[in-house]
């Protein structure tokens, strides 16, 4: 009896041993290359970046003096950074809400079997294939030439002057272009979500007498929550980190009123040549984005259900 | 059913495209910049005479040149080829791509341990890098030929001044004469009052708004605003002095007369701006077209605007030139007599990573562009630059460069360039834009300039 127990224990032990041995090998084969790359291009630069926030490096000199938290004091004094951060929040709210509402709505329409829906799906996705810089320049032309031209021939005061020369309208232009670009991608995800909805559940809901708004609220929405999680996360992080469209469409114009946080960080580091302060601002921006998107994922994940 | 739908979509697409084409011509170009029949005239280079002494031991060396002056990229490549034919040194010309700042590019190359042997940079960038990275060029032979155009850092020269660039009010003589019906003598305007009167005359003759001014922050923040420092006494030292005084608080910008005078001139330009209704919506390319086509008579810019004008249809034979940036009504004030012209791009040789051999080859290349017959010609004819070297006998081909060249030689240009922090143009460019758009007043603008300097350490 005892013998058998010892025996089985031994087998257990061997199994464990083998598993861990195999796991080690598997880990080396599959995860190590990826881990190495991840550490080399993400973790190391990140840690180095944090270190740079505590130096007075100007990007060129061989010596870096340790200055402690002086750069963070510099961030506090940089009023333009806080203005641009506030503007970024405003921008994020507009973009995230409009993109998701629109994408959800359009995806809903495009999965109801309407005529030419594949054409429209492809059409809405196209803007996403154009790079941000190019897109910005194209729209710059539209806002400052095409719109003005329309304004001249129709006399509509809305188009009389270039949208990019007025702070409010330039901001609206930024939101508009970002929505135009981001929606396509989100539509794609929502379409996939809608297609994955089980017909059985829908039918059962109909038989139970649910229709219209009730069905949407109690059946469709909970089942779509996983798509919502992804889309919200993507739009949030992309909107917070916006740079390319900002640079090519307005470049902060008119008079620096549309300069978003990411662009301000770049300007601080490279144009004003204050690497430490710029890097400290980047770190603050990172913490804010990480907290907000982490919170969002946590909250929306909680609402996800399985059919 | 499906076929019908597709047809409908195709039809709609065609309609959209067609309407696009129809409206397209409305904001198209007045004179076609891409005319395939237009021949690109290039002045031939005479390579028969070459008395330059090449160091044969350098043959086979490879050196690199980082170019931050996009418009001479092709020309520099040709120069490199010609130099290689003669000396055996291979020069690879690397461009700074659009959207990259030259400084960022050169710094990232240094940080990756692979910097260019030579870099063409702005003066401020050279000063920032000189002592740490650059080779000392104080003993070079060309120093003697570039008197007054050298940039010294603590008594040493680290860079070769590549070209002189000047800025002022560009005029189109033919258009002015056509509008007024009389000959135009640019020398006849000597004060701000006379300039304003002249603009009024053009207005009465039918040209409602005769001036173009760019809304770009580099134009407003650097090219306009820096007159405040550069006209202190018309020298770079004077500009430096006034900056130090503003920085230390010894000088109050509100009572500095050049600041007020500058704003007087700026207000005049603003008043007669062709884009007065929407000054921040003005389009740079359109300004060149407007001036070439005669919609406007003046454009505040520098000789680097020639490629744009040329693309807009202006010819080398046309009469374009510069008026000074008038500051007041005193005809004896140098600011009303002379235009600003100073070296803008500098060539720096790497002294940190480049080997002795490479540095020697780079120095030979610099001597070659200054002293060899071929290099001299190519500087002027191929690159279309105004060389700051007295021994270069060639005259530039385009009217703007020619005008600056002549003014420099007739003592009608003042050589002053203010060395300001790198973000001066960006930060104060925004403040100037605000003023240009009438969203701030003079007081607020001066306060932002003062505030900017107060923040500098």
Per-residue model confidence as pLDDT tens digits over B148-188: 888 888 899 999 999 999 999 999 999 999 999 999 999 99
- Token digits of residue B375: 């290099």
Query: Closest approach of chain A CAs to the CA of B431, in angstroms?
Result: 6
pLDDT at B39: 45
Mean pLDDT of chain A: 86
Q: Which residues from chain B sit within 8 angstroms of residue A142, using beta carbons?
A: none
Give CA–CA dist A235/A219, Å, rounded. 24
What tens digit of pLDDT does each residue of A152-175 get? 888 887 887 888 888 899 999 999
Judged by CB atoms closer than 8 Å, whether chains meet at A61 and B132 is answered as: yes
Same domain, A110 and A190: yes
Helix residue spans in A114-166 (DSSP H): 117-129, 132-141, 147-154
Q: B423, A161: Cβ pair inside 8 Å?
A: no
User: Any idea which of A95-104, A126-135, B153-162 has the lowest mean pLDDT?
Assistant: A126-135
Picking from A63, A81, A165, A166 by the largest number of B CB atoms within 10 A of its own CB, the best residue to mutate is A165
Instruction: Provide, as residue numbers in chain B, all residues whose Cβ is less than 8 Å from the Cβ of A165.
Output: 215, 278-281, 437
Q: pLDDT-derived band of residue A5, with 50, 70 and 90 as boundaries?
A: low
pLDDT band at B37 (very low <50, low <70, confident <90, very high): very low
Percentage above 70 pLDDT, chain B:
90
* pLDDT value at residue B51: 81
Cβ–Cβ gap A133/B423 under 8 Å: no
> Residue B13 pLDDT more than 70?
no
Three-state SS for B65? strand
Domain shared by A268 and A200, yes or no: yes
The predicted pLDDT at position B111 comes to: 86
Q: Do A253 and B101 touch (CB under 8 A)?
A: no
User: How much of chain B exceeds pLDDT 90, in percent?
Assistant: 58
Which of A25-34, B196-205, B438-447 bottoms out in mean pLDDT, i.e. has the lowest? A25-34
A173 & A253 share domain: yes
Provide the pairing of β-strand B159-172 with B339-349.
antiparallel
| Alpha helices (H) along B153-255 | 173-180, 192-204, 217, 227-230, 236-248
pLDDT at B21: 40
Q: What is the pLDDT of residue A10?
A: 60
For residue B431, give the nearest of A59, A161, A255 by CB distance.
A255
Listing DSSP states for B370-410 in one string gives HHSHHHHHIIIIIS------TT--PPPSSHHHHHHHHHHHT
Q: Can you tell me the distance from the alpha carbon of A218 to that of A213, in angstroms, rounded to the nearest whole number?
A: 8
Residues in chain B with CB shorter than 8 Å from the CB of A144 are 281, 283
Q: Which residues contact B218 (CB under 8 A, 6 or more apart)?
A: B425, B429
Instruction: Tell me the chain B residues in contact with residue A164 when contact means C-beta distances shorter than 8 Å.
Output: 280-281
Quick one: A94 and A198 in the same domain? yes
User: Is residue B5 scored above 60 in pLDDT?
Assistant: no
CA distances from A53 to A69, A73, A79, B299, B429 (A): 8, 11, 18, 44, 28
Contacts of B444 (CB under 8 A, 6+ apart): B431, B434, B435
* Sign of the CA dihedral running B437, B440, B442, B445: negative
In a domain, A260, yes or no: yes
- Determine, for residues B280 and A256 on separate chains, whether the beta-carbon distance falls below 8 Å: no
Q: What angle do CA A193, A290, A220 make, to 5 degrees?
A: 20
Closest-CA residue of A relative to B275 is: A161
Residue B371 near residue B391 (C-beta atoms within 8 A):
yes
| CA pair distance A289, B306, nearest whole angstrom | 46
Would you state the pLDDT for residue A260? 92
Q: In this complex, which of A145, A247, A253 lies closest to B433 when CB atoms are compared?
A: A253
Q: How far apart are the first and last CA of chain B?
A: 74
Q: Are B48 and B103 in contact (CB under 8 A)?
A: no
What's the pLDDT band for A19 if we cut at 50, 70, 90?
Answer: low
| Minimal Cβ distance to B426: which of A61, A161, A267 | A267
**Residue A62 in domain:** no
Q: B133–A145: do the CB atoms touch at under 8 Å?
A: no
How confident is the model over A130-139, as a mean pLDDT?
85
Are both A178 and A39 inside the same structural domain? no
pLDDT tens digit string along A39-86? 999 999 999 999 989 988 877 777 888 888 888 998 998 888 999 999
List the domain range (segments joined by +) for residue A12. Answer: 1-52
Residues in chain A within 8 Å Cβ distance of B433:
253-256
Partners of residue B128 in chain A, C-beta under 8 Å? 58, 60, 273
- Residue B17: pLDDT over 70: no
A31 and A83 belong to one structural domain: no
Nearest CA in chain B to A163: B281
**Residue A269 maps to a domain:** yes
Q: How far is A92 from chain B (nearest CA, A)?
A: 24
- Chain B residues whose CB is inside 8 A of the A60 CB are 107, 110, 128-129, 132-133
Give Cα separations from A87 to A247, B222, B273 (angstroms): 15, 27, 31
**In a shared domain, residues A177 and A290:** yes
Q: Do B110 and A146 touch (CB under 8 A)?
A: no
Are A139 and A33 found together in one domain? no
Residue B54 Cα to chain centre, angstroms: 33
- The DSSP result for B318-368, as a single string, is S-EEEE----SS-TTSHHHH-EEEEEEEEEEEB-SSS-HHHHHHHHHHHHH
Please indicate, yes or no, if residue A63 is contained in any of the structural domains. no
Answer whether residue A190 is part of any domain.
Answer: yes
Q: Are residues A104 and A38 in the same domain?
A: no
Residue A151 and residue A17 share a domain: no
Residue A59 lies in a domain: no
Residue B233 CB partners (closer than 8 Å, separation 6+): none
Which residues contact residue B394 at a Cβ distance below 8 angstroms, ignoring those fewer than 6 apart?
B376, B377, B379, B380, B381
User: Quick one: tokens of A38?
Assistant: 């991840």
Is residue B228's pLDDT more than 70? yes
Q: What is the pLDDT of residue A214?
A: 85
Nearest-CB residue to A144 (from B283, B426, B437) = B283
Average pLDDT over every residue of B2-21: 49
Say if strands B118-122 and B298-302 run parallel, antiparallel, or are unpaired: unpaired
Task: Indicate the residue of A254, A255, A271 with minimum beta-carbon distance to B423.
Answer: A271
Tell me whether residues B281 and A144 touch, CB distance under 8 A: yes
Ramachandran sector of residue B384 (left: φ over 0; alpha: ψ -120 to 50; beta: rest): left
CATH number at residue A267: 1.10.3720.10
Tens digits of residue pLDDT in B87-112: 999 999 999 876 677 888 898 899 88
With the C-alpha atoms ordered B219, B221, B225, B230, is the resulting torsion angle positive or negative? negative
Q: How far apart are CA B241 and CA B232, in angstroms?
A: 9
Taking 80 as the threshold, does the pLDDT of residue B14 lie above it?
no
A59, A119, A165 ranked by CB distance to B9: nearest: A119
A255 vs B contacts (CB less than 8 Å): 280, 430-431, 433-434, 437, 439
**Nearest-CA distance B27 → chain A (Å):** 7
The per-residue pLDDT for range A197-228, each reduced to its tens digit, is 888 888 888 888 887 888 888 888 888 898 99
Digit-coded pLDDT (tens) for B382-435? 888 899 998 988 988 889 999 999 999 899 999 998 888 888 988 899 999 999
Chain B residues within 8 angstroms (CB to CB) of chain A: 5, 9, 23, 26-27, 99, 101, 103-104, 107, 110-111, 128-129, 132-133, 215, 217, 277-281, 283, 421-423, 426-427, 430-431, 433-434, 437, 439
Give pLDDT tens digits for B357-377. Answer: 999 999 999 999 999 999 999
More confident residue, B26 or B86: B86
Q: What is the ipTM of this complex?
A: 0.74
- Same-domain status, A143 and A18: no
pLDDT of residue B25: 35
pLDDT for A147: 87
Of A115, A164, A165, the CB nearest to B5: A115
* Residue labelled with tokens 């007739």: B410
Nearest residue to B241 via CA among B427, B418, B455 = B418
- What is the b/e burial string over B143-168, where b = at least 16 CB atoms within 10 angstroms of the residue's CB? eebbeebbbebeeebbbbbbbbbbbb
Q: Facing residues of A304 across strands?
A: none
Partners of residue B203 on adjacent β-strands: none
- Chain A residues whose beta carbon lies within 8 Å of the beta carbon of residue B103: 270, 273
- Enter the tokens of residue B72: 């001479």
Mean pLDDT of all residues in chain B?
A: 86
Q: Given pLDDT bands bounded at 50, 70 and 90, which one contains residue A274? A: confident
The tokens of B198 are what? 């002249």
pLDDT digits (tens, 9 = 90+) for B262-275: 999 999 999 999 98
Q: Do A255 and B439 touch (CB under 8 A)?
A: yes
Tokens of A86: 């506030």
Distance of CA B274 to CAs A257, B212, B370, B437, B441, Å?
24, 6, 42, 13, 21
The DSSP secondary structure of B147-177, one letter per residue, reads TT---EETTEE-EEEEEEEEEEEEEEHHHHH
**CA B27, B316, B163 angle in degrees (round to 5)?**
100
CA A43 from centre of chain: 20
Q: Do the domain assignments include residue A101?
A: yes
Confirm if B211 and B273 have CB atoms less than 8 A apart. yes
A150, closest residue in chain B (CA to CA): B23
Pairing of strands B298-302, B159-172: antiparallel
pLDDT reading at B439 higher than 60: yes
Q: Do A273 and B423 touch (CB under 8 A)?
A: yes
Minimum CA–CA partner of B131 in chain A: A61
Three-state secondary-structure class, residue B23: helix
Average pLDDT score over residue span B310-315: 90
- Check whether residue A26 and residue A144 sit in a common domain: no
Q: Which residue of B has its CA nearest to A273?
A: B422
Say yes or no to pLDDT of A99 above 90. yes
Residue with the bigger pLDDT between A126 and B16: it is: A126
Tell me the DSSP string of A28-79.
IIIIHHHHHHHIIIIIHHHHHHHHHTTB---SS-S---B-TTHHHHHHHH-H
For the entire predicted model, the pTM comes to 0.80
Indicate the number of domains in chain A: 2
Residue B432: closest C-alpha in chain A: A255
In a domain, A58, yes or no: no
How far is C-alpha B447 from the chain's CA centre? 28
Higher pLDDT, A285 or A115: A285
Cβ of A60 within 8 Å of Cβ of B23? The answer is no
Report the half-sphere exposure of B49 (CA within 13 A, side-chain side). Answer: 6
Over residues A220-271, the pLDDT tens digits come to 888 889 899 999 999 999 999 899 889 888 888 788 889 999 999 998 888 8
DSSP, res B95: E
The answer to whether B422 contacts A144, with C-beta atoms less than 8 Å apart, is no
- Chain B partners within 8 Å of A119 (Cβ): 9
Domains in chain B, ordered, with CATH? 56-165+343-402 (3.40.190.10), 167-340+417-455 (3.40.190.10)
């Amino acid at each position: 009896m005892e013998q058998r127990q010892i025996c089985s224990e031994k087998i257990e032990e061997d199994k464990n041993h083998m598993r861990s041995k195999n796991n080690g090998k598997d880990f080396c084969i599959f995860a190590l290359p990826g881990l190495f790359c991840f550490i080399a291009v993400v973790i190391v630069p990140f840690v180095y970046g944090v270190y740079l926030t505590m130096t007075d490096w100007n990007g060129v000199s061989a010596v870096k003096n340790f200055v402690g938290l002086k750069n963070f004091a510099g961030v506090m004094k940089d009023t333009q950074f806080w203005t641009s951060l506030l503007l970024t929040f405003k921008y994020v709210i507009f973009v995230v809400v409009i993109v998701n509402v629109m994408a959800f709505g359009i995806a809903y329409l495009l999965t109801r079997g309407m005529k030419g829906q594949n054409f429209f799906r492809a059409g809405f996705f196209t803007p996403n294939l154009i790079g941000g810089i190019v897109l910005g320049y194209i729209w710059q032309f539209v806002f400052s030439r095409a719109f003005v031209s329309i304004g001249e021939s129709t006399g509509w005061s809305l188009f009389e002057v270039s949208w990019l020369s007025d702070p409010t309208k330039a901001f609206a232009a930024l939101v508009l272009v970002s929505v135009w670009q981001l929606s396509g991608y989100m539509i794609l995800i929502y379409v996939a979500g809608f297609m994955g909805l089980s017909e059985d559940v829908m039918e059962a809901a109909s038989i139970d007498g649910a229709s219209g708004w009730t069905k949407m609220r109690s059946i469709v929405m909970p089942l779509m929550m996983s798509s919502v999680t992804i889309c919200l996360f993507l739009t949030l992080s992309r909107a917070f980190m916006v740079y390319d469209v900002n640079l090519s469409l307005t470049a902060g114009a008119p008079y620096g009123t549309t300069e978003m946080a990411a662009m301000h960080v770049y300007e601080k580091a490279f144009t004003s040549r204050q690497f430490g302060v710029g890097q400290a601002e980047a770190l603050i921006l990172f913490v804010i984005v990480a907290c907000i998107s982490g919170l969002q994922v946590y909250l929306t994940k909680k609402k996800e259900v399985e059919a | 059913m499906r076929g019908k739908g597709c047809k409908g979509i195709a039809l709609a697409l065609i309609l959209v495209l067609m309407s696009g084409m129809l409206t397209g011509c409305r904001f198209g170009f007045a004179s076609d910049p891409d005319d395939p029949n237009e021949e690109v005239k290039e002045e031939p280079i005479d390579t028969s005479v070459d008395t330059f002494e090449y160091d044969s031991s350098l043959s086979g060396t490879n050196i690199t040149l980082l170019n931050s002056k996009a418009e001479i990229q092709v020309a520099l490549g040709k120069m490199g080829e010609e130099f290689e034919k003669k000396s055996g040194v291979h020069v690879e010309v690397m461009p700074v791509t659009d959207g990259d700042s030259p400084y960022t590019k050169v710094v990232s190359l240094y940080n990756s341990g692979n910097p260019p042997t030579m870099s063409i940079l702005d003066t401020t960038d050279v000063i920032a890098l000189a002592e740490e990275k650059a080779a000392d060029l104080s003993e070079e032979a060309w120093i003697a030929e570039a008197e007054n155009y050298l940039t010294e850092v603590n008594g040493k020269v680290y860079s070769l001044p590549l070209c002189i660039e000047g800025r002022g009010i560009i005029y189109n003589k033919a258009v002015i004469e056509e509008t007024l019906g009389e000959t135009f003598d640019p020398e006849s305007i000597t004060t701000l009052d006379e300039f304003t009167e002249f603009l009024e005359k053009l207005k009465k003759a039918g040209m409602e708004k005769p001036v173009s001014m760019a809304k770009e922050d580099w134009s407003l923040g650097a090219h306009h605003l820096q007159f405040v420092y550069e006209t202190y006494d018309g020298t770079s030292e004077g500009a430096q002095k006034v900056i130090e005084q503003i920085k230390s608080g010894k000088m109050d910008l509100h009572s500095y007369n050049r600041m007020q005078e500058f704003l007087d001139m700026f207000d005049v330009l603003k008043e007669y701006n062709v884009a007065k209704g929407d000054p921040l919506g003005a389009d740079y390319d359109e300004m060149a077209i407007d001036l070439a086509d005669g919609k406007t008579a003046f454009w505040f810019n520098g000789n680097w605007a020639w490629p744009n004008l040329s693309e807009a249809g202006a010819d080398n034979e046309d009469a374009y030139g510069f008026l000074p940036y008038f500051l007041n009504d005193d005809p004896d004030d140098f600011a009303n007599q002379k235009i600003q012209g100073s070296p803008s791009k500098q060539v720096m040789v790497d002294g940190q990573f480049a080997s002795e051999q490479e540095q020697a080859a780079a120095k030979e290349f610099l001597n070659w562009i200054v002293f060899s017959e071929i290099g001299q010609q190519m500087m002027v004819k191929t690159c279309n630059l105004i060389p700051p070297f007295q021994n270069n006998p060639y005259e530039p081909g385009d009217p703007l460069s020619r005008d600056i060249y002549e003014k420099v030689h007739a003592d009608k240009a003042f050589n002053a360039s203010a060395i300001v922090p790198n973000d001066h143009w960006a930060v104060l460019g925004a403040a100037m834009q605000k003023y240009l758009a009438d969203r701030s007043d003079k007081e607020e603008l001066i306060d932002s300039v003062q505030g900017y300097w107060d923040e500098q350490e």
